[in-house]
A and B are shown apart, each in its own frame.
Chain A
Amino acid sequence: MKYRRAEDSPLFTKLKGEEHMIIAQIIANGILMGFIYALVSVGLTLIWGVMDIINFAHGEFLMISMYTAFWMFSLFAMDPLIALPICTILIFVIGVLTYLGIIRRVINAPGLTALLATFGLSMFLKNLAQFLWTPNFRYINNSMVSGKTIELGSIVIGVSQVVAAVASIILTVAVMLFIDRTRTGKAIQATALNKNTALLMGINTKKIYAITFGLSGACVGAAGALMATFFPIYPASGALYSVLAFVSVAMGGFGNIKGALFGGLIIGLAEALGGYMLGTQFKYAIVFLIYLIVIQVRPKGLFGW
């Protein structure tokens, strides 16, 4: 069956004036969404880079943070933006506990064992959420930022997403500064480069790992609070982002925070523009295809060394 749209798809015909505006809007959406992917990816890339562990439960940390924001909002009328520090600290603690309780025991085991352990954790957390809070879809509809928009000409941007994007940049820069400028950060870098040498140099690598896991949790905790203002919240909501976060981390280069930011942005733009041009059902396939292309040119990611 032929549709009117198929014939004047932007791919086949010259863009009309109106179409330019739509493309501009879509680019804006893609960038904003990209910052959100970056937000989720930063925490993941830290663990992946420093400890060479894929944290399968990363999405579940995100989900717990979103639920925390939701409950703070519905029980104490606390806006998600105000609850952000609470979410951050809570997931930081959960991250550290995860390391102490689980990861510490499997980190020296061969390759994928940690993946198996975090898979178990993800299964546990996802269903714990269902057990405690029912599988109902929750949504924060009237926070400070939800539903408000900024209009730039004919481009409409949601305030909640702008806030998330700004926070994403701040967070990324903060983590980068932390890694580059502080003693602990340098210790993390050293541990990432070579664990045994770091150990010889007197770095307490166990402590460093615990901090890294906590830091990763803190990042994703902040992401959860920001995303709670415009995404539905349910036990499986975090899992949606983890696969895309894997891709953005790999695209940027494992352990590279700047890479995760750009990886996220590329994914956001690819799915928005690609989806618009080639069909929205393909938007994730396009993201994966772009990863395969990027990785051919840069086999260790955009910023990998």
Chain B
Amino acid sequence: MVKNKKILFIIIAILALIPIITRTKAVLNAIILLLIFATLGEAWNIITGFAGQTSFGHAAFFGIGAYTSTIVFYRYNITPWVGLILGGIIAAVVAAIMSYPCFKLKGHYFAVATLAVAEIIKQIFVSWDYVEGATGISLPIIQRSSGFAKRLFYLQFNEKIPWVYICLVLFTAVILLCSYLENSKMGYYLKAIRESHEVAESIGINPTNYKLYAMLISAFISAICGSMYAQYILYIDPFMIFSLDISMKIVLLTVLGGVGNVFGPIIGASIFIPLSEFTRIKLGGSGTGVDLMIYGLLIILITCYQPKGVIGIVQKLTEKSKKTNVGGEGKIEATSGN
């Protein structure tokens, strides 16, 4: 536990120092997106990594959050901070409604069901006039000369640096919550459910309830990330916000980092987001698709040579230093190695 805290501290310190080293917008933009998606990955990790329920529909909660804070500001001129909490609550309610019937589904049936729910919600938003439907919403911009207090109140900044720190605070809070959860009674229950539904039930855990709690927390955090994202981009439409791409991005970067580990999402996002941003910046202008080819190829390479996620390396290194032998991991190595 102490060791983990050290790693966490190092990660946060590095991210906090970056704006001091460079003010290049492309780098800061990548850091902000990285933090938002790492936070989303943490949220997703709660329901999938801990509780073992694969969700392919987290864009639904993300989008509900984005839309709630935007609508609250756009229609009623209420600060997005209120919308942010409200969005989290609405997303949690939606999560509860959709989860209850879905939780009796196992494995991929559940995954496809979450995907279906997200697609249905997207279509609702596309056709819903109150949220401006397919047209999307450009957020009203507050005066350019506004002071910092007002900017913070309306969550709109000319600069990127406040965003880096806001997202960093959010991420830190979420990762602390997750590591607390992981080591709490609930965390153990969830892992028991993940390993075996039946066994968990037999020792007196009510799987449905615990999965539901995990889902509510996960949806709430995702929605807050959505609000942040909407405030950062200042434009949303259903196609960008509810896209399958976002749902998959959350899944993929967490898998890349390591599922079920609190450091997985941040490690995955630190590779995934800069990789996509910088291949695009470097080569995207050519219009030949070379950037995404390289991006795809690198992902294949990383997964092929590190199938347990990048966290696997870290674990391997620490194991080596401890010289302990863990049977389960050795088995995986043996079979994937040849």
Contact = CB atoms under 8 A, between A and B. Distances in A.
Interface of A: 48, 54, 102, 105-113, 115-117, 119-131, 135, 235, 243, 246-247, 250, 254, 281-282, 284-285, 288-289, 291-292, 295-296, 299-301
11 contacts: A102-B303, A110-B307, A112-B54, A123-B299, A135-B289, A246-B115, A247-B116, A281-B126, A288-B116, A295-B113, A299-B105
Interface string B41-73: 000000000000010000000000000000000
Given A105-B336, A124-B293, A282 B123 contact: yes
* Chain A interface helix/strand/loop/mixed: helix
B187 interface: no
A220 B45 CA distance: 33
Contact of B297 (A107, A120, A126, A292): A120
Contacts of A235: 289
Contact of B117 (A109, A111, A292, A300): A292
Contacts of B292: 123-124, 126-127
A120 B109 contact: no
B300 A124 contact: yes
B296 A124 contact: yes
Interface stretch (B75-83, B86-94, B247-255): B247-255
Indicate the size class of the contact surface on chain B: 35 or more
Given A120-B298, A126-B292, A113 B309 contact: yes
Given A108-B332, A281-B126, A292 B252 contact: no
B106 A299 contact: yes
Contact of B251 (A108, A112, A247): A112
Contacts of B293: 123-124, 127-128, 131
Nearest to A235: B289
B304 A127 contact: no
A113 B119 contact: no
Contacts of B252: 115-116, 119
Contact of A105 (B104, B108, B304): B304
Contact of A296 (B54, B101, B106, B117): B101
